[in-house]
Amino acid sequence: MNANSNPGRRKSLHRRHLRSAAEAYAMLAPSIIGFTVFLIAPIIVVVALSFYDWNFLSDPEFVGLANYRDLAGDDRAIQSIGNTFYYVLLNIPAQTVLALLLALAMNAKIKARNAFRVIYVLPWMAMPVALGVIWRWVFDPTFGGLNKFLGLFGVDGAAWLTDSSWAMPVIASVNVWQYTGYTMLFFLAGLQAIPTQLYEAANVDGASKTYQFFKITMPLLRPAMLFVLITSVIGSFQVFDTIHVMTGGGPAGATSTLNYQIYLESFTQRSAGYASMLAVILFGIIAAITLLQVLFFRKRTVYDFS
């Protein structure tokens, strides 16, 4: 007699499955509640608020798509979008290439490489606001350490943070310095996951180091590269504290990114609805770029040793 022909047996199995499901949902409940309360609900509120005009004092007034239509004539917001893409283009390529080069060096058999790994990661562990204060002094055109150092060689330093042509590259360079070591760790993990047999076979076949890098290393680093680019791009589009401390969005809005403009609209202009609209635009840009990255890296290279 099997379980299907025994009603008592079926009920017992059904109760056991229900109990197992209840236990599973009970353990998942904190994560589900946290995900809903702190991620899904705020997104819904921001999207809904983007259709309202609200200054935090009076009652919200429904304006439909007016905030989105006003974006086309808002020079400051358009400039902040352009500044954001400019910052990403300055930050991501430099950070990615430097992190990969560091990972290759740290993966080699060199002395004290563990100590170097710690040193390279230390900037990431520091508070961005504290680092911003320090770097603001370094790049100060009058009293800064960099211009004083250049003055020892008779070189007149630039007005790093008050010149619109220099301010954004300086901000990007600070963030590259801070996050390159952290990004290196992911590349290093990816490098160490590549089977050494591949390189041994390539050496036997007489393949050059350059050939091995482009035909073995880079294809097998695709998962690590995808993770690094997605997280780095998202972080770059959300840059705030370095800009707030070092330039305050200046000079003349040259370093005001979209995320910083959202802050200004919310807490300076007291326009919560318009700021929510900008947040929705930022979310859409990040989502679109993330999707493009996933589609580009969806092909994964695998070598079978069986």
Give the residue from 277, 278, 301 showing the smallest Cα distance to 49: 277
296/298 Cα distance (integer angstroms): 6
pLDDT band at 301 (very low <50, low <70, confident <90, very high): low
Under a CB-based contact definition with an 8 Å cutoff, are residues 281 and 74 in contact?
no
Dist. CA 261–CA 190, nearest whole Å = 36
With beta carbons less than 8 A apart as the criterion, state whether 180 and 99 touch: yes
Q: What is the C-alpha separation between 150 and 212, in angstroms, rounded? A: 42
Give the mean pLDDT of the chain: 89
Alpha-helix runs per DSSP H in 56-112: 66-71, 75-107
- Tokens of residue 288, six digits: 């679109």
pTM: 0.87
- Name the residue among 287, 259, 293, 242 with its Cα closest to residue 96: 293
Q: Which of 16-30, 169-183, 192-206, 275-289 has the lowest mean pLDDT?
A: 16-30
Average pLDDT (212-240) is 93
Q: Are 142 and 161 in contact (CB under 8 A)?
A: no
Over 60: is that where the pLDDT of 85 sits? Answer: yes
Residue 1, pLDDT > 50, answer no
Q: What is the mean pLDDT of residues 48-52?
A: 94
Band (pLDDT 50/70/90 cuts) for residue 68 is: very high
Residue 179 has pLDDT above 70, yes or no: yes
Give residue 64's pLDDT band: very low, low, confident or very high (50, 70, 90). very high
pLDDT beyond 80 at 306:
no
Residues constituting the chain: 306
